[in-house]
A and B are shown apart, each in its own frame.
Chain A
Amino acid sequence: MLTSRACWFLFSCLLMLGLGVLRPSLPLTLLGLTLLLWFAAQWLWFVVCLSSVRRLRVLREVRDDRSPVAVLWAGQSFEAHVWLLHDVKLPTPHITAVDFVPFAVRVEGLGADATTAIAQGLVSTEEPLEWTYRFRCGSAGVARFEGVRLHLADWQGFFYSVHFVHAVVELPILPVLSSRASPSASKKRNNLLLPPGVHRLRRPGSGSELLDLRDYLPGDPPKTIAWKVSARRDRLITKEFESEVPVRCTLFVDASNSVRVPASFGVGTRRLRYDKALDRLIEIAAGVLQANEAVRDPTGLCLFDERSSRGIAPNRGDAHRSACLRLLSEAAAHRPLPWPSGSGGTEALDQLLPSAYGLASEVYPELLRPAVNAVPWSTTWLEGYSTYSSGRRQGWFELLHRRKDALRRWCWWASFWSLLVPILLFAARWTFRAPQLNGVLVSSLFVGPLATMALWSGTAFLFGVDALAGWRRRRRNRWRKQMSALLSARYGLAPGGLATLLEDDDSLSLLLQRFLNEHQMPYALPLYTAEGRYAFAAPEKVSVLAQALLRAVNKGRDNELFVLLVDLLELDEALDPLLSAVRVALSRHHQVILFCPWPLGLDLPALEKRPFRASVAEKPAPNAETDGLQSESGLWNRLTARRYRRAYHRLRLAFARMGVAVLCVTGEEPVPLILNRLERLRGMGRPHS
């Protein structure tokens, strides 16, 4: 609570007083007493004021340009009004209040005016502290406003305290709607305007537009006979009309782990990027939804992952669109499922612990106070946590740090036996009257203590080495203890949960992910397990998607359009159920289009001249003398790109055999382009039978 400024001041006062009293000197003593009394009074006043801070409340209102809103839109700018209210008459210290801005949004105007999310002053019952700032939403998801962080200080900057006023508000961020004027699915050729949601299809039907003429077949209704043409050709000719049917579109959006994995990360807390394939898929789904809404096509939505699927039946209208967008934003808010347990959580723990501790120290400073969550010095300096749950090889320093406890135990046991063995030998010598034990007795009297001393010295040396080299490990142990205590209390594991989490990396890793997920904080995870397997491959989702597609086919009418937004790259061995389901859909005269998210940073397969046959050896060799590291990463990137292109080619081949288009979805490709392709495919009206 004391700042360095106060420490120096206190030191000067104490020195002045001590010298004044002992010397003795009246002015010095008086000066020292005056300054110390004033300092003590300031401290007391600060403590009294601090007790009133717990009664502070936060009110927040988010507005757009016109009125308060309960729903946010991706990419839009909003204004947050925050009030800090006080209920009791006690005064507060000087407060610097910083609103905890959700990770899904970004405060505007941080460059020139860095105090937009900050307010300061005193809070009283009559005058609440009020401030406003603007923020811009990122991608779809949920914006979680945790509350307000208070930095409390006196006017001199001597005393300091941090407090967090919790006021959790979660606002859904709905996906952005494309601003493009939506194209009509059918061009108006005559004055005849089709009813909303109805499209012409170039296949025989009962519409009003002429499609073709053919010879009369027995059973054709007489009213379809083209009499003039029949007279001219001297045989009966029947008119065929276009089919006019409502086209219903069902979007199948992949929400499995493989599309929730972050693609890239930035540096620093606020610059953290969380680009994931799911954002792109949701953006496209929202664009398609809007385009269909514009021509009043019924649109359905089905979200699926590795376990289950849920959806909304095709329909139209504002309420239906809102429900779809909410479902999409809920899906976007989901983080990757907890990293697979049982595969060694240590790798994940190294990345999760700093993020989780940073978040906890910002949002829960009261739960990390030494008074309620202490870290005994012996746990960091003398003990280390075990390596049993770690599945990887440890370095020498890491091993030493983790085995300190065992090392110390060995020393104690060696001391015990070096004391006990001479006593036992002495007793045996006198009990059995064996003079031949004399030599052993004498040597044990010397060798035992010497060996013990050597062991203690070696241990002390190793402890010294660890003390010098292990400051990061000590910090990690401190973080781990505090986070284990917090998570154990938060998730109801107390009283034994703390000790369990200190020893078990897997359990702690899972709880840390849950904690970060709850607070909507992005975090990095290792993509591969300790055994070298890709941790987020989800072949189970193919079966779930196939079942959902079959259900939709069973419930569907004619001419349905099924848009599959799913990551199927490198899952070509598990595609059989989906291919069967697609075959069933096509046999019922439905259309299927597949959009596959393409990894960020890789060239599109279409841009590659020799997509998959080009070998690495044919590529120009990197100059190893210039930059070895760069060449290594370049090689890695090329190999990854090549692997993905091969996978894409196999996927395209598998679906092309059935006449299903497979399109890549990249970060750079705009939604309108994809919509155009969709429109072209929809408007073709090509029968698949």
Chain B
Amino acid sequence: MTKSALSRTVIQTAKRRAFREMRADPAVRNYVLICLAALFLLLVCLSDRGLEWWSFAPPAIGCLTLLARWSHGPTLVLLSLTGLLGLSGLRSVRGYSYGLGQRTPSSMDLILCVAVLAYAVGHYRVLSLTRRLLPSELPQRGSSGVDPRSVRRSADLVAPWEMVLFGLSLLIWSSLALLLWSWLMEGKPPMDIPDPLWRFLQIVWASLALLATAGVSASYLRLTSATPEESLLYLQDEVWRQTRREQGVLNRWLAWARTRRRKERP
């Protein structure tokens, strides 16, 4: 069998499986349709930016990986988008300028954000429904003899309000991103720091501050809700970490003495 025939067979098999799953589970079908719609919107947005044939690349990758249920599909789409928009960022087509000069987002930018977010979320949820929910790096253990890695999210558990929440979240997070962008654009960089670098530093520091705050809060919450066993273990670990060398030397001598005594008086 030639390579092309083999690839055709693989694609046909994946297509058949995808259609079978779509027919069996309405939830899978809904998410797949959302993904396809999002990819279509993505195609429209990219074509609108004058990327010509290149605008087909990310949607095509998205379609193929969705069909094959490949878990790296969204990552590939995002990377291809990054490359495409990053490389063509300095071009000016049809009156749009995507370079340094553009400071006001258009409605197409908002649609682009909504489409990409919808595709990514939809694809991951389809994967949870059709392939696996729990990570593959999970060790295969289980007293019941069941491998938890093989567990998929049951399609019966997808409630109608989940779709509504999904649609609302698309609008909310895109709008919040726009607000954040406009806040970033307001300030002027001090000490003649270049504009992009200043914005980058702002984002990095804000993210780190938020991350640190959230992390500390989460760990504090966890400590306050710890069980007595966990608290005892934590305290014991702290004592051991601070005195482990001294304790180690003492216990090594004790163990040595026991072994010696045993050899002398078996």
Q: Pick from B1-9, B16-24, B59-67, B120-128 the stretch touching chain A.
A: B120-128
A positions within 8 Å CB-CB of B: 3-5, 8-9, 11-13, 15-31, 33-38, 40-41, 43-44, 47, 51, 54, 94, 96, 98-103, 107, 110, 114-118, 120-122, 149, 151, 153, 155-158, 160, 269-270, 342, 358, 361-362, 366-367, 371-374, 376, 379, 386, 388-389, 391, 485-486, 488-490, 494-500, 502-506, 531
The CB with the most chain B CB atoms within 10 A, among A38, A160, A496, is that of A38
Q: Which residues on the A side are within 8 Å of B240 (C-beta)?
A: 485, 495, 498-499
Q: Tell me if A502 and B234 are in contact (CB < 8 A).
A: no
Q: Tell me if B100 and A24 are in contact (CB < 8 A).
A: yes
The CB with the most chain B CB atoms within 10 A, among A3, A5, A54, A107, is that of A5
The CB with the most chain B CB atoms within 10 A, among A13, A107, A155, is that of A155
Q: Tell me if A34 and B71 are in contact (CB < 8 A).
A: no
Q: Which residues on the A side are within 8 Å of B229 (C-beta)?
A: 367, 489-490
Q: Tell me if A503 and B177 are in contact (CB < 8 A).
A: no
Q: Tell me if B148 and A98 are in contact (CB < 8 A).
A: yes
Q: Quick one: which of A13, A489, A495 contacts B78, CB cutoff 8 A? A: A13
Q: Tell me if B199 and A156 are in contact (CB < 8 A).
A: no
B187 located at the interface, meaning its Cβ lies under 8 Å from any Cβ of chain A in the complex: no
Distance between Cα atoms of A503 and B255 in the complex (Å): 7
Q: Which residues on the A side are within 8 Å of B227 (C-beta)?
A: 366
The verdict on A388 contacting B262 (CB below 8 Å), with A30-B105, A94-B153 known, is no
4 nearest A-B pairs in the assembled complex, by CB-CB distance: A499-B247, A117-B144, A3-B135, A12-B78
Q: Tell me if B233 and A486 are in contact (CB < 8 A).
A: yes
Distance between Cα atoms of A3 and B81 in the complex (Å): 23
Q: Tell me if A30 and B143 are in contact (CB < 8 A).
A: no
Enumerate 13 A-B pairs (CB-CB under 8 Å) in ascending A order: A9-B75, A20-B86, A23-B89, A41-B173, A43-B214, A47-B214, A96-B134, A114-B147, A371-B219, A485-B237, A494-B235, A495-B239, A499-B251
Given A98-B144, A386-B252, 11 other A-B residues pairs in contact with their CB atoms under 8 A:
A9-B74, A15-B79, A21-B200, A31-B116, A38-B121, A100-B144, A103-B143, A157-B134, A486-B233, A494-B239, A499-B243
Q: Which residues on the A side are within 8 Å of B167 (C-beta)?
A: none
CB nearest neighbor in A for B115: A31
Q: Tell me if A389 and B105 are in contact (CB < 8 A).
A: no
CB nearest neighbor in A for B88: A25
CB nearest neighbor in A for B175: A34
Distance between Cα atoms of A270 and B141 in the complex (Å): 10
* A50 CB, nearest partner CB in chain B, Å: 9
Q: Which residues on the A side are within 8 Å of B133 (C-beta)?
A: 94, 96, 153, 157
Q: Mark B221-239, 1 if CB is under 8 A from A, else 0.
A: 1100111011011111101
Distance between Cα atoms of A117 and B142 in the complex (Å): 10
Distance between Cα atoms of A15 and B258 in the complex (Å): 59
Q: Tell me if B255 and A388 are in contact (CB < 8 A).
A: yes
Q: Tell me if A33 and B132 are in contact (CB < 8 A).
A: no
Q: Which residues on the B side are within 8 Å of A40 (C-beta)?
A: 210
CB nearest neighbor in B for A369: B230
Q: Which of B139-198 contact A (CB under 8 A)?
A: 139, 141-148, 150-151, 153-154, 157, 162, 169, 173-174, 176-178, 180-181, 195-197
Q: Which residues on the B side are within 8 Å of A488 (C-beta)?
A: 236
Q: Mark B35-48, 1 if CB is under 8 A from A, else 0.
A: 00000000000000
* A145 CB, nearest partner CB in chain B, Å: 10
Q: Which residues on the A side are within 8 Å of B134 (C-beta)?
A: 96, 151, 153, 157, 160
Q: Tell me if B248 and A371 are in contact (CB < 8 A).
A: no
CB nearest neighbor in A for B256: A388
Distance between Cα atoms of A115 and B147 in the complex (Å): 9
The verdict on A37 contacting B180 (CB below 8 Å), with A17-B203, A386-B255, A388-B252 known, is yes
B25 located at the interface, meaning its Cβ lies under 8 Å from any Cβ of chain A in the complex: no
Q: Quick one: which of B112, B141, B169, B195 contacts A38, CB cutoff 8 A? A: B169
Q: Tell me if B146 and A122 are in contact (CB < 8 A).
A: no
Q: Which residues on the B side are within 8 Å of A498 (C-beta)?
A: 236-237, 240
Distance between Cα atoms of A379 and B234 in the complex (Å): 18
The verdict on A157 contacting B174 (CB below 8 Å), with A51-B225, A98-B142, A489-B236 known, is no
CB nearest neighbor in B for A8: B75
CB nearest neighbor in A for B197: A22
Distance between Cα atoms of A9 and B74 in the complex (Å): 7
Q: Quick one: which of B150, B157, B235 contacts A495, CB cutoff 8 A? A: B235
Q: Tell me if B124 and A5 are in contact (CB < 8 A).
A: yes
* B116 CB, nearest partner CB in chain A, Å: 6
Q: Tell me if B241 and A98 are in contact (CB < 8 A).
A: no
Q: Tell me if A485 and B233 are in contact (CB < 8 A).
A: yes
* B13 CB, nearest partner CB in chain A, Å: 24
B56 located at the interface, meaning its Cβ lies under 8 Å from any Cβ of chain A in the complex: no
Q: Quick one: which of A28, A101, A102, A120 contacts B86, CB cutoff 8 A? A: A28
Q: Tell me if A156 and B128 are in contact (CB < 8 A).
A: yes
Q: Quick one: which of B75, B196, B251 contacts A24, CB cutoff 8 A? A: B196
The verdict on A21 contacting B141 (CB below 8 Å), with A5-B124, A38-B173, A157-B135 known, is no
